[in-house]
Copies of this chain bind each other. A is one copy, B any other.
Amino acid sequence: MEQITELSYALDTFYFLVSGVLVMWMAAGFAMLEAGMVRAKNTAEILTKNISLFAVACIMYMLYGYSIMYPGEAVSPWWPGIGSILGSTDNSAADVLASNGETYYSGLSDFFFQVVFVATAMSIVSGAVAERMKLWSFLLFAVVMTGFIYPMQGYWKWGGGGLDALGFLDFAGSGVVHLCGATAALAGVLLLGARKGKYRADGSINPIPGANMPLATLGTFILWMGWFGFNGGSELKVSDVAEANAVALVFVNTNMAAAGGVVAAMAVARMLFGKTDLTMALNGALAGLVAITAEPLTPAPLLATGIGAVGGVIVVFSILGLDRLKIDDPVGAISVHGVVGMWGLIAVILSNPDATLVAQLTGLGVIFAWTFVTSFIVWFVIKMVMGIRVSEEEEYEGVDLGECGMEAYPEFIGSQGSGK
């Protein structure tokens, strides 16, 4: 009997770790997606941002974020928050056996799973501010975002705070992760302004195509794959029949929503543009995934496909709409994660009888308001103190040379080229 409990604990822990690896892999997905969607001259810098934001997120969440978001887990007497992640304080076998099934996975595996989530939220930001933001200003924001802004609202929902008590539902984070990341991005973009040449004086919009579509597609496939860990792991338990079925359903719905998003976005793009735009297909996949993230467990697969498809439609119009508002988002991150994240929160009421529109809108509003206000303040302070935008000359030459002192594709493009 004790052996069964231990084995069950081992399986749930292993499931958590595998899910965490898949979510960690999403960092590569964002890096590839964003590197593919910017111009060649800004590619090395966006790659640098992506790998360094992941590192910063892990360190800040270890030092502060985890203890803010899950205060119940933070038991260190000597440092706030890293108690449970010190390794010396994971659950003993005796505690597990005495817990009557309450303690069913390693606390460290939970930290691992959570820490890769934070990085996801932060990754969303880097795409939206691409091609014009200073690298170290961005990293400074990442410190505050991953150590404080994200964990605080995460606590309200997942750490047992007020939004949870209110009945706000967000299974794997359409709001807590995606809307939060997109909102922080929006605040940054508003203070940062559009890329030079994006919006012409005559009011027309200058499309700036990404330099490397295979990379962007690879990034999308990586994110699709990683999302099975993101949503699938958020069930938190797999070790009995009901839980295993639940995880399987989450996998199926996650996949179907992405499929629905692809088809819908392609069809809309085809109708609007007369051509089958690849970037819209990619954004459609991601929109489907974001849309189902708030509730991948209660819909039937057919409904999940529909929820994803609506996300795919929304994302196309949102991208076009933000461009009209001159909100310049090179990779469409605000639309994919923010606007569709809102749709995902609302769509919970379609299948989960415990959800109410009021609670969902309250949660949505609180996450948006908190993240927008705090992010805006932080971006603003950074702007005042050290600036957030590179010089006009550096933007023209490419931030790769200015920030990183190198080129991403030194042989492919002469200094005269590079999409200027």
Contacts and interface: CB of A to CB of B under 8 A. Distances in A.
A21 interface: yes
A51 B88 CA distance: 41
Given A93-B241, A259-B59, A411 B419 contact: yes
A412 B412 CA distance: 6
B301 A56 contact: no
Contacts of A115: 252, 255
A239 B27 CA distance: 29
A255 B256 CA distance: 31
B22 A240 contact: no
B11 A7 contact: yes
A293 to B, nearest CB: 17
Interface string A255-275: 110111111001000000111
Contacts of A277: 404-406
Given A91-B245, A241-B9, A22 B21 contact: yes
Contacts of A40: 411-412
Nearest to A222: B28
How many of chain A's residues touch chain B, expressed as a range?
Answer: 35 or more
Given A25-B225, A214-B35, A240-B6, A251 B109 contact: yes
Given A211-B409, A213-B47, A221-B31, A108 B281 contact: no
A279 interface: yes
A240 B221 CA distance: 33
Contacts of A52: 262-263, 266, 276, 281
Contacts of A112: 248, 251-252, 255
Residue among A22, A222, A409 with most chain B CB within 10 A: A409
A238 B10 contact: yes
Copies in the complex: 3
A218 interface: yes
Contact of A221 (B3, B25, B45): B25
A236 interface: no
Residue among A225, A251, A274 with most chain B CB within 10 A: A251
A244 interface: yes
A352 interface: no
A-B CB proximity, top 8 nearest: A275-B405, A28-B221, A55-B262, A108-B248, A55-B259, A13-B244, A58-B259, A106-B248
Interface string A37-53: 00110011101101110
A94 to B, nearest CB: 9
Nearest to A92: B241
Residue among A28, A232, A276 with most chain B CB within 10 A: A276
A236 to B, nearest CB: 13
Contacts of A90: 245, 248-249
Nearest to A109: B248
A170 interface: no
A122 interface: no
Contacts of A88: 300
A404 B281 CA distance: 11
Nearest to A288: B55
A274 B135 CA distance: 13
Interface stretch (A79-87, A358-366, A374-382): A79-87
A102 to B, nearest CB: 14
Residue among A48, A241, A259 with most chain B CB within 10 A: A241
A305 B51 contact: no
A249 to B, nearest CB: 5
A56 B263 contact: yes
Contacts of A209: 406-407, 410
A32 interface: yes
B13 A276 contact: no
